Amino acid sequence: MIETQESYPEIRDSVRRLCIQFPGEYWQALDRERTYPSAFVRALTEAKFLSVLIPEAFGGFGLGLGAATAILEEIHRSGCNGGACHAQMYTMGTLLKHGSEAQKQHYLPKVASGELRLQAFGVTEPDAGTDTTRIRTFARRSGDNYIVSGQKIWISRAEHSDLMVLLCRTTPRAACAKPSDGMTVLLVDMRDAVGNGLTIRPIRTMLNHASTELFFDDLVVPTANLIGEEGKGFRYILSGMNAERILIAAECIGDGRFFIDRATAYAKDRNVFGRAIGENQGVQFPIARAHVQLCAAAGMVDRAAHLFDAGLDGGTEANMAKMLASEASWYAADMCVQTHGGFGFAEEYDIERKFRETRLYQVAPISTNLILSHVATHALGLPKSF
């Protein structure tokens, strides 16, 4: 293993010890069948790792994003995948920041204990794509209820969540002063909703990510489940996205370290032409380059987490961290396959699985072009292109 100066050493050590119980064979079997890692998620929940961001007053650890990034990085470095449950850590942020006191008292202690899974986040729609202001899922007010109709796509873990943070329109885009007005956040109780106006259809993808499509057909959601004020939902969702980007970036750092650890060990061990392949600079240099790129990206992730925890405006840094980390992990993934030659393609080595998994992060939760556009216009003051 490559030595690095580590934050939260005790937390990292506990995560590593937990992850050892979920070796490659565990993930390979789930990946083959595209099934959910229930035992792994249960173990993380019982160890309270998913509640680190919830304040102590609501039963969590009340730690910052720095601790959460350490947890997710170690999960990924160990060869495991936090994608099955990372949203249990941060989706509650919308409720914590914008929910009423009664909502927080009602839900957060149960989310902290794991009794309630709040790990579905419904934003993306097939016709809107990245242009969130064009979502069309509509919540119409009827007495003490909203009646929701529409469709969402790519919603992760919807089948494994008790609650979902849902963004929908309550005023048509054309009737709003600004396109980002008129959107509202509702907390949907999936246990009541499925079969009563909500249909979940799984989507099989190149990785085991519990992806689904959601169809809303006059789903009834009580107005008591409105988060914050009607029409201001876009702002609430945006504020949670920075945390998500930083945490996903930490997963990329973990993936990158996994690939570098594996490639380094293999390059030392594998003998061809009478010597270790790692003696060849043609093999060494890509591994070293991956390490350099990953260390640089990790520095940006730490900076973004620090700004977030300090309550400072770090939106640009969160985006830059996600972009650098996802590109560094992808370079490391490609390098690791190359270093392993044919064995990089063998299921039992876990490299091909991790290679597929880490590719996601240049597309979701936000694609690289959109990050570049943000940096160009927000950090550099270049003209907007859309």
Interacting residues toward ligand FAD by CB under 6 A: 121-124, 129-130, 154-156, 205, 209, 211, 360, 363-367, 369-370, 373, 386
DSSP, collapsed to helix, strand or coil, labels residue 67 as helix
Beta carbon of residue 15, minimum distance to ligand FAD (angstroms, whole number): 23
Beta carbon of residue 314, minimum distance to ligand FAD (angstroms, whole number): 20
DSSP, collapsed to helix, strand or coil, labels residue 202 as strand
Beta carbon of residue 183, minimum distance to ligand FAD (angstroms, whole number): 13
- Is the distance from CB of 328 to CB of 256 less than 8 angstroms? yes
Beta carbon of residue 282, minimum distance to ligand FAD (angstroms, whole number): 32
Of 6 and 127, the one with the shorter C-beta distance to ligand FAD is: 127
Beta carbon of residue 300, minimum distance to ligand FAD (angstroms, whole number): 20
Interatomic CA distance for residues 95 and 87, integer angstroms: 13
Written as six digits, the tokens of 279 are: 């003696």
Cα distances (Å, whole numbers) of residue 289 to 262, 293, 336: 15, 6, 12
**Nearest partner of 251 among 345, 312, 330, 348, judged by Cα:** 330
- Is the distance from CB of 148 to CB of 177 less than 8 angstroms? no
Single-letter amino acid code for the residue at 341:
G
Cα distances (Å, whole numbers) of residue 117 to 19, 130, 167, 191, 211: 21, 26, 18, 11, 16
Radius of gyration over every alpha carbon of the chain, rounded to an integer in angstroms = 21
Interatomic CA distance for residues 274 and 297, integer angstroms: 36
Q: What is the DSSP letter of 129?
A: T
Interatomic CA distance for residues 187 and 93, integer angstroms: 12
Of 18 and 198, the one with the shorter C-beta distance to ligand FAD is: 198
Single-letter amino acid code for the residue at 255:
D
Catalytic residues: 244
Of 43 and 370, the one with the shorter C-beta distance to ligand FAD is: 370
Of 9 and 129, the one with the shorter C-beta distance to ligand FAD is: 129
Beta bridge partners of 83: none
Beta carbon of residue 362, minimum distance to ligand FAD (angstroms, whole number): 8
